[in-house]
Amino acid sequence: MGNGLGCIPGTQPNGGVGSRSKSNSRSQRKTITEEDLLHRQALAMAIQQHQLSQRFDGSMSRRIGSTSSRKQTPSSSFRKPVPIVLDSLETKKIILVHGEGFGAWCWYKIIPLLEEAGLHPVALDLMGSGIDHTDVNSILTLADYTKPLLDYLHNLHEDEKVILVGHSCGGACVSYALECFPKKVTKAVFLGATMVCDGQRPFDVFAEELASAEVFLQESQLLLYANGNDKPPTGLMLDKEKLKGLYFNQSPSKDIALASVSMRPIPLAPIMENLSLTVENYGSVRRYFIQMLDDRVLSSYIQEKLVRENPPQEVFKLRGSDHCPFFSKPQSLCKILLEIVQLI
């Protein structure tokens, strides 16, 4: 489809979910093992702390979350919670798709909350993310990056459906999946995400606040050049000194610590490619947008622009949340997701 990213349903890129970078070097395998161990220890500690806090003040935190949501303006689309009638749901399965640099680990607070409500959440690592050690410099297309999600949808039973939730740049992966498997998805939720239009690149969402792609590629000091400095950049490092103020300005310190040892470089090619989205496929699935009002990565102006240019079914506004509500406002985020699940 020209320079656009086409999608051939049922045709998957080479490789498998959770594949490891193919290296025969003993030292590289040792490094990977050490990284896995460090990540798992950090995640286990964060989960343990979260469970302890839930045990002692879980009921209070739920009441606080509920009160804050009722104080929101009518435009926030928050309504009084309605008990979930599981038998009436189109699907109980929610697939959580992380954003750039993150992994399945970032949903550790959301998964138990959704499970308590009787739903079946599934968090996936995209290629080169989380504990998938595919070299980010080798991920050349959005199809490659999204492969674990595409494989999951491809392997569903013919009559099985899911709800997709995409965070940040994970929104582009969700859009791509809708184009490939529209009949497998009942709803798509864009969580402060790159909800792009047909022909647009995920990077275009950030370009207005960062710079043009050309200027960005010329001036950024965080780019990776695996093929040499005279070739196009292949990846983007995260400036961990700026992450706290940019991504986590409302998040607990323990979650910032978890992110600091778990976030990975970002494959650059997938966010620089144009998406080809059709009305027949992508446009046939109901979309919902959750806007974070204290987001410093995607400003309210940019989020509202996304909604204007590519209108979803409904918009929900989450106050007091930074770019990562799964850390800063897990209870409130879960309530919104539960409400979307029940919408007919």
Mean pLDDT of 312-339: 97
The answer to whether residue 310 is domain-embedded is yes
What single DSSP character describes residue 129? S
Higher pLDDT, 64 or 181: 181
| Segment 70-105, tens digit of pLDDT | 333 333 344 444 456 667 788 999 999 999 999 999
Q: Which of 168, 251, 262, 321 is catalytic?
A: 168
pLDDT at 120 exceeding the cut of 60 = yes
Q: What is the pLDDT of residue 233?
A: 84
The answer to whether residue 18 is domain-embedded is no
Mean pLDDT of 316-322: 96
Higher pLDDT, 55 or 131: 131
The answer to whether residue 79 is domain-embedded is no
The answer to whether residue 115 is domain-embedded is yes
pLDDT band at 43 (very low <50, low <70, confident <90, very high): low
Flag the least confident range among 49-58, 167-176, 177-186, 224-233. 49-58
Q: What is the pLDDT of residue 33?
A: 54
pLDDT band at 242 (very low <50, low <70, confident <90, very high): confident
3 state SS of 105:
helix
Q: What angle do CA 154, 155, 156 make, to 5 degrees?
A: 95
The answer to whether residue 15 is domain-embedded is no
Give Cα separations from 313 to 187, 289, 306, 338, 344 (angstroms).
Answer: 10, 8, 13, 16, 11
Active-site annotation holds for 39: no
What is the rounded CA–CA span in Å between residue 216 and residue 100? 17
| Segment 138-188, tens digit of pLDDT | 999 999 999 999 999 999 998 999 999 999 999 999 999 999 999 999 999
Higher pLDDT, 55 or 171: 171
pLDDT band at 53 (very low <50, low <70, confident <90, very high): very low
Query: Which residues, at least 6 apart from 92, have a Cβ–Cβ distance to it below 8 Å?
Result: 86, 118, 119, 120
Q: What is the pLDDT of residue 280?
A: 97
What is the rounded CA–CA span in Å between residue 165 and residue 186? 11
**CB-based burial of residue 241 (10 Å sphere; 0-12 exposed, 13-18 middle, 19+ buried)?**
exposed
Between helix 147-154 and helix 170-180 the angle, nearest 10°, is: 30
Residue entry with tokens 């005279």: 230
CATH number assigned to the domain comprising residue 43: 3.40.50.1820
Q: For the chain, where are the alpha helices, taking DSSP H only?
A: 26-70, 110-116, 142-145, 147-154, 170-180, 202-207, 213-219, 240-246, 253-262, 300-309, 325-328, 330-342
pLDDT at 195 exceeding the cut of 60 = yes
Percent of the chain with pLDDT over 90: 59
Q: What is the pLDDT of residue 46?
A: 47
pLDDT at 49 exceeding the cut of 80 = no
Q: What are phi and psi of 94, to 5 degrees?
A: -120, 125
The answer to whether residue 263 is domain-embedded is yes
Number of domains in the chain: 1
Active-site annotation holds for 154: no
Q: Which of 39, 133, 167, 323 is catalytic?
A: 323
Q: Which of 295, 321, 322, 332 is catalytic?
A: 295
- Quote the domain boundaries for residue 37: 25-72+92-342
Q: What is the pLDDT of residue 48?
A: 46
What is the rounded CA–CA span in Å between residue 54 and residue 238? 31
Mean pLDDT of 277-293: 97
The answer to whether residue 5 is domain-embedded is no
Q: What is the pLDDT of residue 203?
A: 87
The answer to whether residue 86 is domain-embedded is no
How many other C-beta atoms are found inside a 10 Å radius of the C-beta of residue 224?
A: 16
Mean pLDDT of 272-285: 96
Active-site annotation holds for 120: no
Q: What is the pLDDT of residue 139?
A: 96
